[in-house]
């Protein structure tokens, strides 16, 4: 009798797991149909999986509340994000709940030095290093960089096009010779540049390689670097150079400058160079800027942006 009961319990457990998996798959499909970014879908599905593994019954909001409340190691910001994801999940199930109140605490993001970023890149595999170099040079979101295809790279002009996500603006960037060489060293086995199956798969590989580099160099600060950290770093560096929030806004693809302010930190970089920023709306304006010593940076909102060292400008 005991053996039969054990079999029944296992069968019930398997059925429950299959039911949960089915609901999570439905949730992912709903987000795809609604046009959510792929990276958002992956993150929300991962949250549902974590809740289920923590023992929460996804059909019972009170069960989810209890599980979230018990996670002392989770920050208020993380709990807030989980509540947001679960609220959307309930919508797909035709259910509602009284949301627990978790308010994320605004923190100043960690800004690594360029040396630390370069050391991390140098210690990673070819694929990962090239991906991180793209993030460093463009300040793109992880999902935007992940979706890059070979057709987005123009080796003749040395430019890279970013297709936006989250309602941002498209951008085009001039690549450094280093990034061009790194991209040229990668195999071209499909229309996509990266071999990773998903952003979560890429993130797992990144964490492993980051830990190895931090241990090898004996620098725990490297463990604080995330893919999104490079976006904050790029915004901070460019604002320190140009003192132009409008330029940084276009660089990051933001539609609202208030969003850009959250990305830029007032960090004093040693031996920083100050720049003048100018925009050209047509060929003649661009020619005049180039003749005046300005350097092309990127295209934003149908105009071309140029920069020039302030010291050079004052001396001209």
Strand blocks (E) in 132-193: 153-154, 159-162, 171-174
pLDDT of res. 157: 95
240 within 8 A of 205, measured Cβ to Cβ = no
120 within 8 A of 222, measured Cβ to Cβ = yes
Q: For 77-90, what is the mean pLDDT?
A: 92
pLDDT of res. 127: 97
Q: What is the pLDDT of residues 47-81, one digit of tens each?
A: 998 998 899 999 899 999 999 999 999 988 889 99
Smallest CA-to-CA distance from 239 within 315, 148, 153, 139 is with: 139
Q: Are strands 171-174 and 295-300 parallel, antiparallel or unpaired?
A: antiparallel
pLDDT band at 114 (very low <50, low <70, confident <90, very high): very high
* Mean pLDDT, rounded, of the chain: 84
Q: For 13-20, what is the mean pLDDT?
A: 66
Q: What is the pLDDT of residues 258-306, one digit of tens each?
A: 777 776 665 555 444 566 788 888 888 888 888 777 788 877 777 888 8
Q: Is the pLDDT of residue 101 over 70?
A: yes
pLDDT of res. 21: 84
Q: Is the pLDDT of residue 28 over 70?
A: yes
Report the percentage of the chain scoring pLDDT > 90. Answer: 46
DSSP 104: P
Q: For 23-37, what is the mean pLDDT?
A: 87
Q: Is the pLDDT of residue 237 over 90?
A: no
Burial class for 132, CB neighbours closer than 10 Å (0-12, 13-18, 19+): buried
| pTM summary value | 0.66
Higher-pLDDT residue of 114 and 244 is: 114
Q: Is the pLDDT of residue 314 over 50?
A: no
Distance CA 310, CA 290 (A): 15
Please give the helix or strand (H or E) that residue 311 lies within, else none: helix 310-315
With b meaning 16 or more CB within 10 Å and e meaning fewer, what string describes 263-291? bbbeeeeeeeeebbbbbbeeeeebeebee
Q: What is the pLDDT of residues 151-197, one digit of tens each?
A: 999 999 999 999 987 667 889 999 999 999 999 999 999 999 999 99
Q: Is the pLDDT of residue 124 over 50?
A: yes
First to last CA, the chain: 94
């Amino acid at each position: 009798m005991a053996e039969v009961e054990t079999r029944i319990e296992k069968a019930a457990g398997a059925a429950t797991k299959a039911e949960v998996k089915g609901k999570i798959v439905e949730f992912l499909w709903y987000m795809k149909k609604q046009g959510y970014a792929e990276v958002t879908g992956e993150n929300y599905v991962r949250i549902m999986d974590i809740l289920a593994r923590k023992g929460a019954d996804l059909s019972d909001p009170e069960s989810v509340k209890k599980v979230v409340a018990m996670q002392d190691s989770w920050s208020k910001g993380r709990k807030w994000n989980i509540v947001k994801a679960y609220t959307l999940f309930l919508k797909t199930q035709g259910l509602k709940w009284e949301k627990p109140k978790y308010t994320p605490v605004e923190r100043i993001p960690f800004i690594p030095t360029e040396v630390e970023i370069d050391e991390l890149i140098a210690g990673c595999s070819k694929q990962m290093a090239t991906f991180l170099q793209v993030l460093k040079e463009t300040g793109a979101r992880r999902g935007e960089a992940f979706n890059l295809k070979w057709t987005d790279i123009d080796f003749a002009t040395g430019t890279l096009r970013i297709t936006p996500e989250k309602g941002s603006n498209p951008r085009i960037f001039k690549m450094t010779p280093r990034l061009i060489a790194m991209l040229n060293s990668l195999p071209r086995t499909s229309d996509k540049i990266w071999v990773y199956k998903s952003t979560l798969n890429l993130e797992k590989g990144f964490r492993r390689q980051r830990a190895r580099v931090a241990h090898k160099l004996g620098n725990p600060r490297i463990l604080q670097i995330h893919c999104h950290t490079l976006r904050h770093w790029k915004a901070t560096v460019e604002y320190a150079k140009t003192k132009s929030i409008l330029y940084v806004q276009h660089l990051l693809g933001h539609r609202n400058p208030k969003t850009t302010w959250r990305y830029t930190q007032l960090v004093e970089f040693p031996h920083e160079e100050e720049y003048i920023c100018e925009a050209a709306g047509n060929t003649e304006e661009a020619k005049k800027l180039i003749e005046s010593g300005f350097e092309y940076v990127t295209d934003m909102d149908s105009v071309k942006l140029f920069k020039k060292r302030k010291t050079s400008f004052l001396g001209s």
